[in-house]
A and B are shown apart, each in its own frame.
Chain A
Amino acid sequence: MKSLNRVKQHVSTFLAAVTLTSAAFAANAQEATSLDQLLEQLAQGKVAQTQQNKQREADFMARKSEQDQLLANATNERDNQIKLSTELEANFQNNEIELANRQDALNKRLGELKELFGVLQQVAGDTKSKFQNSVISAQIPGREAFLDEFAQSMGSSSKLASIEEIEKIWFELQREMTESAKVVRFDREVVLADGSKQTATVTRIGNFNLVANNKYLEFISETGSVAELIRQPSGRYLGTAADMTAANPSQGTQQVAFALDPTGGSILSLLVQAPDTQERVDQGGPVGYVILAIGAIGLLIALERFIALFLVGNKVNRQLKTATPSNDNPLGRVLMAKEEYKDVDVETLELKLSERILKEVPQLTSRLTMIKIISVVAPLIGLLGTVTGMINTFQAITLFGTGDPKLMAGGISQALVTTVLGLVVAIPMVFISTILTTRSRGIINILQQQSAGIVAERAEKGA
C-alpha cells in the first residue's frame, strides 16, 4: 500500500512539469498594431518558437533518462512492497492455522474438563443468585462476592479454575445445605418497624424464616439487611414465633411448633401488600361509612329494645303469677281496669280492656320497624356502592384502557367492599329484628288474647 502511494506521487510531479512549459510559450505572444507588424511578428515568432521548441526538445531529452530512472525506482519499490505484503499474508495464514491447531490440541487435552468448567460457571452463577435470596446470608454475609468474581472470570477469559476455587464452591454449597437443616441463634443488627436499628438475637429456622423479638423478619438481599416485617401474620402464627423466641437452647433440643414460610419469605412479604380490616373498610369510601353508621344506629336501637323488652317481659311473667295487678307493667295496667270498673257488665269491661291494650301496644312495637327498615336498606345501599364502584371502574377503563388491572382495582374493591358491608350490617339486623319481633309479639299476644281470659279465671277463682 505504501509503495503504491509513492508511485502515485512521482507520476503527479511529472504531469505538473509538462503544464508549466506550455504556459511559458503562451506568454510570448504580443499585441500587433498593424497588419505588417503582425506579419513581422509572426515571422519572428515562428523563428523564436522553433528555437524554443528545439531547446525544449533538448531539455526533454536530457531529462528523459532522469524520469526513466524515477519510474524504475518507483516500480521497484512497489514490487518490494507487494512482495512484503504477500509474505506477511502468508505468515498470518500460517499463524492462524497454528493457532487453530493449538486450540484443537488444548480442547483435546482438556477433554471432559471443558464441560466441567462450563458446569462450574453455571453453578457459580446459580448459586450466587440463590445465596442472595437465602436467609442464611443474613448470618454469613459476603458469600456471593466470591461466586460473582469466579463466574465472571470463568466466562470472560481462558483462565482455568484452580482446585482451591473449585473446592471453595463445593464448600459453600455444602455449607448452605448443612445450614439449611439447622435452627440457629445469632446476634445481628435488625431494622425495627419504626425504622430504628437495634441489635437483637435472631433465630434462623433453616433457610426458611428469621425470627426475633417474637416477630417475623425479612432479609432484604439488595442491602443485605434484616428488617422486621411491617405487617405481621395473624396472631395464631405470631404465637409460634413467640414460642420460637422463648425456646431456650441451653436446655438442649426442645421441640416447638412453628409456622414457617416454605417459600423463604416471599409469602410473608406479600402480607405487606394485603390490606388489613381498617384499610378494607376505607376502600368502601363514603358509601361504606354511611352503611356502617346506619348499622351502628340499628345496633343502638336494638340494644335499647332488647333491654326494654326483656324488662317488660320479666314483669309481665311476674304479673301472670301474682294475683294483685301492679302498675309497673302493661299486663298489670290492663288488669287494673277490672279493679277500677268492678260492677260494669262484661261488654263494657271488654271495651275498657281493649282501650287499655290499644294504649300499651305502641310502646311494645315502637322502633322495631326501624330495625326492619335498616335490615332492608343496608344491602340496598351496598348495591348503590357496588354500582358507583363499577362506574369508577368503567371510567378508569375509558381513560386508561384495560391494560393495567391495578388502575381498575380501586373501583372494584369499592364495589365489593360496600356489598360486604351491606350484608354484614343486614345479616345481624334480620336476626335481631326477628328475635325482637317475636318477643314483642309474645307480650302483645298475652295482652290481646289472654288478658280477658285471665280476668275471667281470677273472677272464677274469687267466686
Chain B
Amino acid sequence: MIIFIEMMNSISAFLDTGGQVLTVIAGVICLMWLLIFERLFFFLKTYNGIKKSVIANWQARADKSSWNAEQIRVAQVSRLTEMLNQNVALIQSLVVLCPLLGLLGTVTGMIQVFDVMAISGSGNARSMASGVSRATIPTMAGMVGSLSGVFVVTWLQRKTKRRTEQLEDSLVLQH
C-alpha cells in the first residue's frame, strides 16, 4: 500500500514538472494502449471464434461456385477485414499525435522560459529551470509514447493483412 502511494506521489510529481501538456500526453498514451490491448484481445481470442464459425458456415454451403457464392464470400471476407481493421487507424493517428503533443509542450515551455526572462532578466538560470523542464519532459514523453506504439501498430497492420489472406485461402471456391 505504501509502495503504491509512493508510486502515485512520484508520478504526480513527474506530471507537475512536465506541466499540463504532459497530462494530455499521458491521456493519449493511456487511450492508445487501451485500444492496443483491446486489439490484442480481439486478435488472440474473439477473432478465432468468429473465423471458425465463418469457415464452418462456408463449408456447410452446398453451392460454392456460383456468382452468388463468390459475392457472399467477398462480403464475408470484407466484414472480417473490417473487424480486424477496427481502431487500427485510430491507434496509428494516436502514435502520430504523441510527438506533435511533445512539440506543443516544448513550445509552451519555451514561452514560459521567455516569460521568466522578461520578468527577471536572463541572469537567473534557476528561475528558468521549471520552464525548461516543461519544454523537455513532454518532448521525451511524446517520443517514448510514440515509439512504444509504433511497433505494435506495425505488427497489427501486418497481422491484419495476413489474417485476411489466410481467411481468403480457407474459404475455397470450387470451379
Contacts and interface: CB of A to CB of B under 8 A. Distances in A.
Interface of A: 270, 273-274, 280, 346, 405-406, 409, 412-413, 416-417, 419-420, 423-424, 426-427, 430-431, 433-435, 437-438, 442, 445-446, 449-450, 452-457, 459-460
If over half of B's interface residues share one DSSP class (helix, strand or loop), that class is named, otherwise mixed; here it is helix
B68 A459 contact: yes
A434 B89 contact: yes
A270 B119 contact: yes
A449 B80 CA distance: 12
Given A433-B93, A453-B78, 14 more contacts: A273-B119, A346-B67, A405-B118, A405-B121, A409-B114, A409-B117, A416-B111, A417-B111, A420-B108, A434-B90, A442-B82, A452-B74, A452-B75, A457-B68
B97 A416 contact: no
Interface string B52-94: 0000000000000001110111111111001000000110111
Contacts of A454: 75
Contacts of A449: 74-75, 77-78
B46 interface: no
A404 to B, nearest CB: 10
Interface in B113-139: 114-115, 117-119, 121-122
A437 B89 contact: yes
Query: Which residue, of B71, B79, B114, has the highest number of chain A Cβ atoms within 10 A?
Result: B71
A207 B46 CA distance: 66
State which size class the interface on B falls in. 35 or more
A383 to B, nearest CB: 11
A153 B119 CA distance: 38
B164 to A, nearest CB: 12
B72 A453 contact: yes
Interface stretch (B11-19, B99-107, B148-156, B166-174): B99-107
Contacts of A273: 118-119
B119 to A, nearest CB: 6
Contact of A456 (B72, B114, B115): B72
B71 A409 contact: no
Contact of A420 (B67, B82, B104, B114): B104
B97 A457 contact: no
Interface of B: 67-69, 71-79, 82, 89-90, 92-94, 96-97, 100-101, 103-104, 107-108, 110-111, 114-115, 117-119, 121-122
- Find the residue from A445, A453, A454, A455 having the highest chain B CB count within 10 A: A453
Contacts of A446: 78
A364 B93 CA distance: 21
B72 A406 contact: no
Contacts of B79: 450
A431 to B, nearest CB: 6
Nearest to B92: A434
17 contacts: A274-B119, A409-B118, A419-B103, A423-B101, A423-B104, A427-B104, A430-B96, A431-B93, A433-B93, A438-B90, A449-B74, A450-B79, A452-B71, A456-B67, A456-B72, A457-B75, A460-B68
Give me the 10 closest cross-chain CB pairs, A-B, nearest first: A453-B75, A449-B78, A434-B93, A456-B68, A452-B71, A450-B75, A456-B71, A346-B67, A423-B104, A453-B71
Residue with the greatest number of chain A CB neighbours at <10 A, chosen from B100, B111, B121, B122 = B111
A420 B106 CA distance: 9
Contact of A274 (B72, B107, B115): B115
A280 B78 CA distance: 50
Contacts of A431: 93-94, 97
Nearest to A274: B115
A442 B69 CA distance: 23
Given A273-B119, A449-B75, A452-B71, A420 B89 contact: no
